[in-house]
Structure 1
Amino acid sequence: MSDVPLTLRLRRRAELARTVRAFFAERGVLEVASPVTVDGVTDLHIESVALADGGFLRTSPEYAHKRLLAAGAGDLYELGPVFRGGERGRRHRPEFWMLEWYRLGWNAERLAEEVIDLVRTASDRRWRVRRTTWSELAFEAVGFDPLDADTERLAAALDDAPGDLDRNGLFDWLLAMRVQPALPDGQLTVVHRFPASQAALARLSADDARTAERFEVFAGGLELANGYFELTDPDEQRERFEADNRARARHGLPAMPIDEALMRALEHGLPECSGVALGFERLLMAIHGLDDIADASGTPPP
């Protein structure tokens, strides 16, 4: 149950939605609306919500947006609901709003700066900003760069982590349990160059094969946004989807269908671009100093 009155929550949501739309209108970014029923995603860490008659509710509008980009739509954004199973808590809900947008010809660094501009436009708070890398923050937490360490060394440094984690799982645990809690309040932290094993749909860094052109933005310890300098190679993308399904099998999870409409769009030609997904309720939490996502929701009491 939210501690914030429903009328106040609704006003805050409406005000932020107006601000977002004005922000992108001023910059010439087109608002779009894409389907909420999709083929699902292969990502090991995302649980798609299945529909009774086949298909899934979208976890993100990303694949539809890339089809629009490949068709020549240009810079675009969407604000609307997405759905993820198994996510419930102070910072997670199975249904929430996502703001996702794409900029043609931009790299990850430039798009991350636009995320900062949006947060500052939407908030009266005076945010400090730190721009850093995943390796730098990890070094501060454990005293060495985990990208240069094997699993045994990393596990020894994270001796309170679950014992069944592989190297990539330890990377996740390090960020969530050591790095994020130490990020200071009142600061936007932009973290670039995630491990290549966590590239997802980002391209690998041209100057360092250990890292990917993926970034995240945190408000204090709260993750706000996740962005990529987008992978455009259809063969590499298919390999990653297939690797996801192999990982799902190792964890006892069902294989997910590869979105062939997305693959056709990549084969047709996705223009060079960067994209980012930002949690709308989480932005409300950051703006208003809220600790529970329920206080940012527009849901009436039961």
Structure 2
Amino acid sequence: MNWLPTASMSKLQERAKIIQMIRQFFIQRSLLEVETPTLSQSGVTDIHLFCFKTNFIGADLSLTNQTTDGLPLYLQTSPEFHMKRLLAAGSGSIFQICKAFRNEESGRFHNPEFTILEWYQVDYDHQQLMNEMDQLLQLTLNCESARRCTYQNAFLEVLNVDPLAASLDELKQAGNKLKLGSVLDNETDKDTVLQLLFCIAIEPVIAIKKPCFIYDFPASQAALARISEHDPRVAKRFEVYYKGIELANGFHELNDPEEQLNRFNKDNQIRKIKGLDEMPIDKNFINSLEKLPNCSGVALGIDRLIMLATKQQHIDNVLSFTIKRA
């Protein structure tokens, strides 16, 4: 019967308790809970993210982005840009639990509409934010304190290759040992190869008994993070894994508008080469970065967290209605 929820009522009750626990965690730390738009006039340029797009037919005709079809709008892949604009306006440390949307596959760990937790701590670096996230994971998952490992050491431990020094050919050789030769043969982008190697070989094994923070990602994968002043080869970015599942992605946030604009433009250049749609750059976000305070932020997938907390093997089991029954 397709009208029924995909999760059991008992699992939905557990879900509600976990979300209440998360909310209380941040209220006790005096973070302000905020709400930001789900629809925006700009999407994201990241070549690995795909936005849902629509047109607002009742838009003010004076808006510069207006077309004969209406005003193009994008469902947000995360609330990041708007939350940073609040930070730049003086909000102080903030958090949000909301829906986000990505036009990607659905499967064991994916639903195109999902619940995200995002929070920002003013005057924290990414190491301090990892400390706080470790506390949240122990609370919600009843797990041990997380292990920490650099991106470089993770590759050396599992694949015996240095991702910061290896050539593209050397990385492909590591892929050949994993029988990925045909997949990698025509790939010319080093970061795409690194991400595939990480996903196939490292992600499944690094955090079986307890969560693991992977940090100091290559500078070429900085996204919205600062570059390390101690090692310009790496960015102040981290991800969190547990039992083969990626849970979160965090940054010591870049507050240089010129550098961020350059990164977005580079993304769009790569999009053009790959035959993907170029994305409109969020100029309001770029303009706000001059006022962005020193802060660190992280986005965490609530549905995946609840999967782990309730020992479920499929995301369908913790969602009231997946896309198949929406």
1:142-291 aligned at under 5 Å gives the runs 142-159=159-176, 160-161=179-180, 162=183, 163-165=185-187, 166-267=189-290, 269-291=291-313
User: Is the contact between residue 230 and residue 272 of structure 1 (CA under 8 Å) also seen in structure 2?
Assistant: yes
Aligned equivalents of 2:74 and 2:5: distance in 1? 32
Aligned equivalents of 1:119 and 1:143: distance in 2? 30
**Structure 1 residues 155 and 5: alpha-carbon distance in aligned structure 2, compared to 1, 3 A threshold:** closer
Q: Which blocks of at least 5 consecutive residues in structure 2 are unaligned?
A: 57-71
Query: TM-score, structure 2 length as denominator?
Result: 0.88
Residue type of the alignment partner of 2:30: G
**Structure 1 residues 194 and 10: alpha-carbon distance in aligned structure 2, compared to 1, 3 A threshold:** same
Residue type of the alignment partner of 1:12: E
Q: By how many angstroms is 1:126 displaced?
A: 3.1
Instruction: Please say which structure displays the higher CA radius of gyration.
Output: 2
Deviations 1:52-111 (A, max 9, x none): 331110110000001000000000000010000023111111000000000001011110
- Is 2:104 the partner of 1:86? yes
Deviates further, 40-49 or 4-13: 4-13
Aligned equivalents of 2:82 and 2:5: distance in 1? 36
User: Is the contact between residue 7 and residue 320 of structure 2 (CA under 8 Å) also seen in structure 1?
Assistant: no
Q: Across the two proteins, how many residue pairs are aligned to each other?
A: 300
Deviates further, 14-23 or 290-299: 290-299
- Is 2:144 the partner of 1:127? yes
Aligned equivalents of 1:293 and 1:149: distance in 2? 36
User: Is the contact between residue 194 and residue 215 of structure 1 (CA under 8 Å) also seen in structure 2?
Assistant: yes
Question: What secondary structure is seen at the aligned counterpart in 2 of 1:147?
Answer: coil
Q: By how many angstroms is 1:6 displaced?
A: 2.7
Q: Among the aligned pairs, what percent are the same residue?
A: 38
Residue type of the alignment partner of 2:109: R
Aligned equivalents of 1:73 and 1:264: distance in 2? 17
Question: What secondary structure is seen at the aligned counterpart in 1 of 2:204?
Answer: helix
Aligned equivalents of 1:169 and 1:57: distance in 2? 25
Q: By how many angstroms is 1:184 displaced?
A: 4.0
Q: By how many angstroms is 1:240 displaced?
A: 0.2
Aligned equivalents of 1:184 and 1:172: distance in 2? 17
* Equivalent residue, structure 2, for 1:49: 52
User: Is the contact between residue 171 and residue 193 of structure 2 (CA under 8 Å) also seen in structure 1?
Assistant: yes
Deviations 1:160-213 (A, max 9, x none): 331232211111011100101112423110111001111000011111111100
Aligned equivalents of 2:193 and 2:259: distance in 1? 25
User: Is the contact between residue 79 and residue 97 of structure 1 (CA under 8 Å) also seen in structure 2?
Assistant: yes
Deviates further, 140-149 or 40-49: 140-149
Cα RMSD of the aligned pairs, angstroms, is: 1.7
1:103-118 aligned at under 5 Å gives the runs 103-118=121-136
Aligned equivalents of 2:196 and 2:258: distance in 1? 30
Q: Which blocks of at least 5 consecutive residues in structure 1 are unaligned?
A: none
Query: TM-score, structure 1 length as denominator?
Result: 0.95
